[in-house]
Amino acid sequence: MAFDPRQIYDDALVIDGLSVCNWNSDAVFRHLRAGSPSGPRLLAEFVTSARIRVFDFAQPAALRKCATLMEKYADTPMDYADATLVLLAEHMKCLDILSLDRRGFSTYRSTENRGFQLILGSR
């Protein structure tokens, strides 16, 4: 996995209350607090005070599912962060996605072959 600075604002969150993937919460704070030694502490305080649920998709079974999705959507392409959001959406049975990745999330499909609803594109 490589960091692409052109996608600095391309991280997405699945909206159902406040739910994020471990990769996305970390990436968002890296972008917001780049170079700040207080970034990790601020992230911990923010997640705790806002009662955000962080889901971990770095376990072996989830990693295999992510790899399968990334291979399936290699032409789009799909990165690990996108794959974890698809898994989170399926886990929560929620197809509403907040993302600037219009191309990716217009292409990706749930396991039931349903498209995701882009929150930012609905207005």
DSSP state at residue 36: -
- pTM for the model stands at 0.68
pLDDT at 47: 73
pLDDT at 121: 61
Strand partners, 20: 54
Contact assessment for residue 1 and residue 80, using Cβ atoms and an 8 Å cutoff: yes
Q: Is 26 exposed, middle or buried (0-12, 13-18, 19+ CB in 10 A)?
A: middle
Strand order in the sheet with 96-98: 53-55, 19-21, 13-14, 96-98, 117-118
Q: Which CATH number fits domain 12-122: 3.40.50.1980, 3.40.50.1010, 3.30.1700.10, 3.20.20.80?
A: 3.40.50.1010
- pLDDT 10s per residue in the chain (123 long)? 233 344 433 344 443 345 666 655 556 656 556 666 777 777 778 777 777 777 888 889 999 999 999 999 999 999 888 998 899 889 888 898 877 788 899 999 999 999 999 887 654
